[in-house]
């Protein structure tokens, strides 16, 4: 019997409350709780479940993430609007994945960076096999 489940993803960062606020707004979650001393912050869904935790660390991010969040905009025709919304919140576009034309007609995946440079994916549509 497996009893392990993911409850949170922890992100090292310079400004925990600011980064938690970005992700809370990006995901439309229920708010941010931050430590009084600025050492950490969390955000999560209004319905509970897993959450994101942000912890202040002294070192800056220096290389590509080995693990990143994969997000979906849902429909393919909603992807560009969601990318624009996330960029207004402080994200930047890193690159878009290249797919064969038959896949690209129904699915796209864009790699973005949050305000502290952490990569995450935003896809739209449904990939076919």
Ordered by where they begin, the domains of the chain are: 1-58 (3.30.720), 67-129 (3.10.180.10)
Q: What is the dihedral of CA 85, 18, 21, 8, to 10 degrees?
A: 120
Q: What is the dihedral of CA 60, 121, 18, 24, to 10 degrees?
A: -150
Tens of pLDDT, residue by residue over 95-119, are 999 999 999 999 999 999 999 999 9
pTM here?
0.93
Residue 10's contacts (CB-CB under 8 Å, 6 or more residues apart) are 52, 53, 54, 55
| Amino acid 128: pLDDT | 72
| Amino acid 129: pLDDT | 60
């Amino acid at each position: 019997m497996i009893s392990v489940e993911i409850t949170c993803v922890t992100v090292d960062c310079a400004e925990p409350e600011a980064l938690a606020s970005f992700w809370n707004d990006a995901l439309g979650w229920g708010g941010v709780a931050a430590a009084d001393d600025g050492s950490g912050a969390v955000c999560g869904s209004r319905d509970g479940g897993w959450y994101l935790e942000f912890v202040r660390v002294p070192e800056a991010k220096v290389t590509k993430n080995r693990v990143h969040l994969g997000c979906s905009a849902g429909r393919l025709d909603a992807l560009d609007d969601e990318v624009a919304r996330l960029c207004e919140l402080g994200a930047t576009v890193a690159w878009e994945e290249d797919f064969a034309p038959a896949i690209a007609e129904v699915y796209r995946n864009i790699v973005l960076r949050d305000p502290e440079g952490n990569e995450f994916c935003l896809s739209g549509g449904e990939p076919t096999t």
